[in-house]
A and B are shown apart, each in its own frame.
Chain A
Amino acid sequence: MKLDKKLLGQTGSVKLYLGLTVGIGLLTGILIIFQAHFLSQIIDSVFLKNNNGGLTLPLLMLLGLIVARAGLTWGSEVSANRVAGRVKSNLRQKLFARLLKLGPAYTRRERSGELSNVVVEGVESLDPYFSQYLPQVFLTLLVPLVVLIVVFVADMLSGIVLLLTTPLLPLFMILIGLKTKAVSEKQWGLLSVMSAHFLDVLQGLTTLKLFGRSQHQEETISRISDRFRVTTLKVLRVAFLSALVMELGATLSTAIIAVEIGLRLLYGQIPFQSAFFVLLLAPEFYLPFRALGSRFHASASASAASGRIFEILEAPEPQPETANPASGPLKTPTAIRFEEVYYAYKSEGETRPALQGVSFEVKMGQKVVLVGPSGAGKSTLFQLLLRFIEPDSGTIRLEYGNTNTALSSVAAREWRELVGWVPQNPYLFNTSVIENIRLGRPEATLEEVSVAARQAHAHEFIEALPLGYNTVIGERGARLSGGQAQRLSLARAFLKDAPVLLLDEATSNLDPENESLVLDATEKLMQGRLTLIIAHRPSTIGRADRLIRLEAGRVVTQEGPKLEKLAHRKPEEAK
């Protein structure tokens, strides 16, 4: 009876309901015993004693027990759901909060699908563990014991028969449990291989068609499905066989008791009522074991899902915030200075240095362009400035005239109030356009949002959408092109109107028409702010005050203005 310690740890707040569920189960067991008692008493008195009176009370008692049992069945379901519901709800909350703490560095986009699957489906798959398996573990310990004691009191010999078969059951169960786990894992493995093949063929259908091979695939699908059937049945036969042993164990024991008490009845060694009573109780003795056996897979799949859940919950937090979160609003600095900043990405024992001693200064009102090959450390600089990560060594300083303060000593939230960010691939949320722009300032009015959208050259295409600003992005063909997404992102930055601007230019979407609109909006946005741009466009580079070239995590050159010639070269010159 495997009980996962970590999963059990989650029951802290719901011990009461878990106890209630087990209590109801135990009470049901006791009611069943009484029901058997009255049933055997009634039949005994009618059948053998020809008792005419005094039956009304037992019959009414029996009816009462029946109704009470139904009530308990109801209560048990509701109470078991409370256990599972609370645990699941708590875990989801904890998981999402944890992911927010771990930050964007952990939830890289490529695994976001898997992560949300863990939070929804992974947590959901724990339900049978808490609502069925866990209460059943306790009930399997309690109910057979009560039944056994009662049977012993009613008829010693039958009690001994039950007792003798008892050690066999847990043994069978363990054997079957181990076997079924292996078997069901194997079966799911086979099924997923099979489904993967089918999906593979469906996804490759166009390719098959282009090579004129699509019509041959029917046979392949049918052949592979058939092979799957044969192998799976072979695998399942083992599982069915262990279930057969379990079933036979229970039914044959019942049969043995029936024959045993039947023969003793024959010789008058046991009264009919006790005999019938024992016969009714014998299946109840085995039932909890069988119920537990059939819930083994709930335990197995829960422990599989819980592995991933606790991996997330126990992932080390990259850098706990040291600053006082309630330090109040931050003043706009006059400059930002990097002093010998080092940063390396660590994953699974590997360290990949990204910044190796970077120093430079940017003053308020300046436009500084960052260039360099991919992997040079440009995005790492932005991540540091957004406080998604903190430097391994070195300091980023905020200058205030004669004084300065380390960026790491101010509250991240207060700092981010001063920063506008236009990422390379802005994320568009599954909500309306207006809500997407309001990310920049949630309390902004429609008027303010549309002003920002006009400034970002986004107003025209938004108005052309089916429901204008209220169009939900992604619905009914309202997909935005990369260029339009960029302009929405610019609108966010206009709306936020923060003094520090981090701009990551897109490399793709080299569409000359969109280009000029984005460029014009960007130009307006940068006015009077401290701007850092990761640039790919010559036109952007041309208008910067300064160019910082990064290579392998180091600043290679810092050039002044005079970048015009780079921007406007004729193609012939470039060749």
Chain B
Amino acid sequence: MKTFGRLVNLALPLRGGMALATLIGVLTVGAGIGLLTTSAYLISMAALHPSVAALGVAIVGVRFFGLARGVFRYLERYVSHNVTFRLLARFRVWFYRSIEPLAPARLMEHRSGDLLSRVVADIETLQNFYLRVIAPPLVALVIGLGMWFFLGAYNVVFAFAFLGFYGLAGIGVPLLTHLLSRKLGQELITTRAELNVQLIDGIQGMADLIAFNQEDRQQTRVEDLNRKLTDLQKRLAWVNGLQGALGNLLMNLAVWTMLILAIPLVRNGELDGIYLALLALAALSSFEAVLPLPGAFQQLGSSLEAAHRLFEIADTKPAVTTITEPQPTPTDYSLNVTQLGFRYQPNEPKALDGLSFSLKPGQTLAVVGTSGSGKTTLANLLLRFWDYQEGQITLGGYDLQRYSPAATARLIGVVTQQTHLFNTTIRENLLIARSDATQDEIEQATRQANIHDFILSLPQGYQTRVGEMGLGLSGGERQRLAIARAILKNAPILLLDEATANLDAANEREVLDAIHRLMQNRTTIIITHRLIALDRADQILVLKAGRVVERGTQSELLQQEGFYWRMWELQNAVTREQGLEVG
């Protein structure tokens, strides 16, 4: 109920449009009722053989409602879709605004599979919130009220009888089917998800299954689930059939009851027989308004589930507290880290423990270690994605936590291994680094990053859209675009987080060349598990389980024949083997 309230609140600014769409919706159903009732009235009148003039109004009415029905239907669709798309835009902006402060820390915690694609799908579900959830009950309510007065004008008995059937069809039937299908529906969803999991296992793991002669077992599993799914859908069809049958039954029973009630009244002269057909058809045609209600009820359920998931994400507290006091101006671009400690969750082991180093302006520090050693955590803390819990980081003489995330972003240029390129032109992608850069500045950056010639070779040069090339950009090209961005941004501190991972040897060399040009005169931190070109580093930290196990220059570390040496040995052996292969 709370979710529903919040959802309505979000949609509230569009109430004007919604009210208009509802009104036209009422008029559409009303025109349908009008067409049938005036037609019934027309022929009943005509049967009494009056003058043509007496039929004039009825004839005009029939023609009017016949035309109006189509026109209203058209208008209603137009206005309600307009509202729907406005809602969609609102929900998107709202959601973006809520999660912007959460990225990336809290989103990583939420990440289960494809969280973001689910978010997009959930918002698309919500766009129907007005069209399928809010509008149908409102229209049904107004039509019900209108019919109450209309029938009550003839005799209050009609009004009560009608309302009974109308209410049952509009509230009772949806409620009943909801109760009957709730468990089935949930079981259906889990069965379908389970079938999906087994199919993905069967398809992705097919080589393993076949190699171990186990494909038949998987096939049996899929068949069992498939049978269960079919069976559930069969049972659900019984419920859906019941819903349709009851709706139909109540509608026709309403007509029948009108007759039963009206016939004695006509006989004893309390009601003019001319209205008999009219009353029956009015009752019949007004049920158009309640028939979509069971659907609305189901849609309400899925809307609330979608909204619940979105609210859950949006309500997360940001991982970083932003201080609003004036931003300090760094005295220089040195970095000092003392006894830094951090854990992601209170019950998890420390991801970083007692880390210390100090980096003078213009120096280079390399942080190496295997996956899970805490390298990326250090990057996350430096970029203020998370706030550290123990020790201190100072940048240019001030505690890092005194800078806002935006100020930190200005000071630190980053090249990571997953560079996101937006589905727009190459130029726009570069301008993200500095929106006022001239074409000259852009080209200077791309030349330094060894990517200018490649961009010119594309069909539309800098105007080529990244998405249109599909996967046409290689990992190396993406990395060099990321480096060009970092050059354009021209930040005094540089953070390279696995910038050359996933590249082949030739590409790696080119990217390294570009990186070395970028590193000049900048305070640089290189985070890597590939021990390549680290002889340039002023200091190397070797991390293991969040702690520094070795530190020194490359030659010192190799001399020690410790952990660094073993990693180095392992990698160079592989590189050597590959070198042998190529040569």
Chain A: residues with CB nearer than 8 A to chain B? 35, 39, 42-43, 46-48, 50, 52, 55, 59, 62-63, 66-67, 69-71, 73-78, 80-82, 85-86, 88-89, 92-93, 96-97, 99-100, 103-104, 107, 109, 112-113, 115-116, 119-120, 191, 195-215, 217-218, 221-222, 225-226, 228-229, 232-233, 236-237, 240-241, 243-245, 247-248, 251-252, 254-255, 258-259, 261-263, 265-268, 272, 275-276, 279, 371-373, 376, 386, 388, 413, 416-417, 419, 421, 423, 426-427, 429-431, 439-440, 442, 481, 492, 496, 507, 509-513, 515, 536-538, 541, 549, 551, 567, 569, 571, 574
With A202-B116, A255-B66, A258-B43 already in contact, the answer to whether A47 and B266 are too (CB < 8 A) is yes
Q: Output the least CB separation between B414 and chain A (Å).
A: 5
Which residues between 407 and 423 of chain B lie within 8 Å of chain A, taking CB atoms?
Answer: 409-410, 412, 414, 419-420, 422-423
Residues of B near A203 (CB, < 8 A) are 116, 420
Q: Judge whether A218 and B97 touch: CB under 8 Å.
A: yes
For the complex with contacts A202-B119, A248-B70, A266-B46, 18 further pairs of A-B residues with Cβ separation under 8 Å are A50-B267, A55-B263, A66-B253, A78-B241, A86-B230, A96-B202, A201-B96, A217-B96, A217-B100, A266-B50, A266-B55, A276-B40, A276-B277, A423-B211, A431-B201, A509-B371, A511-B370, A549-B581
Residues of A near B200 (CB, < 8 A) are 112-113, 116, 430
Instruction: Tell me, in angstroms, the Cα distance from A129 to B199 when the chains sit together.
Output: 24
B19 within 8 Å of A by Cβ?
A: no
C-beta contact mask, B253-297 vs A, less than 8 Å → 1, else 0?
A: 101100110110011000001101100100000000000000000
Q: Judge whether B576 and A574 touch: CB under 8 Å.
A: yes
Q: List 20 A-B contacts (CB under 8 A).
A: A47-B273, A52-B267, A89-B226, A93-B226, A96-B222, A100-B206, A198-B92, A202-B120, A209-B405, A211-B485, A218-B93, A248-B67, A258-B42, A388-B210, A417-B213, A431-B201, A442-B214, A507-B574, A510-B529, A571-B569
Instruction: Tell me, in angstroms, the Cα distance from A571 to B100 when the chains sit together.
Output: 48
Q: Output the least CB separation between B52 and chain A (Å).
A: 7
Chain B: residues with CB nearer than 8 A to chain A? 35, 38-40, 42-47, 49-50, 52, 55, 58-59, 62-63, 65-67, 69-71, 73-74, 77-78, 81-82, 85-86, 88-89, 92-93, 96-97, 99-100, 103-104, 107, 116-117, 119-120, 123-124, 192, 195-215, 217, 219, 222-223, 226-227, 229-230, 233-234, 236-238, 240-242, 244-246, 248-249, 252-253, 255-256, 259-260, 262-263, 266-267, 273-274, 276-277, 280, 370-372, 383, 405-406, 409-410, 412, 414, 419-420, 422-423, 432-433, 435, 485, 489, 529, 558, 563, 565-574, 576-578, 580-582
Residues of B near A71 (CB, < 8 A) are 245
Q: Judge whether B274 and A47 touch: CB under 8 Å.
A: yes
With A77-B240, A229-B85, A258-B42 already in contact, the answer to whether A100 and B420 are too (CB < 8 A) is no
Q: Judge whether A221 and B93 touch: CB under 8 Å.
A: yes
Instruction: Tell me, in angstroms, the Cα distance from A251 to B73 when the chains sit together.
Output: 12
Q: Taking CB as reference atom, which chain B residue is nearest A77?
A: B241
Which of A210, A215, A217, A511 touches B383 (beta carbons < 8 Å)? A210
Instruction: Tell me, in angstroms, the Cα distance from A442 to B207 when the chains sit together.
Output: 17
Closest 7 CB pairs of A and B: A77-B241, A225-B89, A81-B237, A255-B66, A265-B46, A229-B85, A427-B205
Residues of A near B217 (CB, < 8 A) are 442
Q: Taking CB as reference atom, which chain B residue is nearest A493?
A: B212
Q: Judge whether B210 and A244 touch: CB under 8 Å.
A: no
Chain B CB within 10 A, most for which of A48, A73, A115? A73
With A48-B47, A225-B88 already in contact, the answer to whether A259 and B67 are too (CB < 8 A) is no
Q: Judge whether A225 and B85 touch: CB under 8 Å.
A: yes
Which of A115, A244, A266 touches B52 (beta carbons < 8 Å)? A266
Instruction: Tell me, in angstroms, the Cα distance from A372 to B238 when the chains sit together.
Output: 62
Q: Judge whether A571 and B248 touch: CB under 8 Å.
A: no
Q: Judge whether A247 and B92 touch: CB under 8 Å.
A: no
Q: Judge whether B219 and A96 touch: CB under 8 Å.
A: yes
Residues of A near B582 (CB, < 8 A) are 373
Residues of A near B262 (CB, < 8 A) are 46
Q: Judge whether A228 and B103 touch: CB under 8 Å.
A: no
Q: Judge whether A421 and B199 touch: CB under 8 Å.
A: no
Q: Judge whether A207 and B241 touch: CB under 8 Å.
A: no
With A233-B81, A279-B40 already in contact, the answer to whether A107 and B212 are too (CB < 8 A) is no
Instruction: Tell me, in angstroms, the Cα distance from A103 to B215 when the chains sit together.
Output: 10
Q: Judge whether B244 and A73 touch: CB under 8 Å.
A: yes
Q: Judge whether B43 and A232 touch: CB under 8 Å.
A: no
Q: Output the least CB separation between A67 and chain B (Å).
A: 7
Q: Output the least CB separation between B409 and chain A (Å).
A: 4
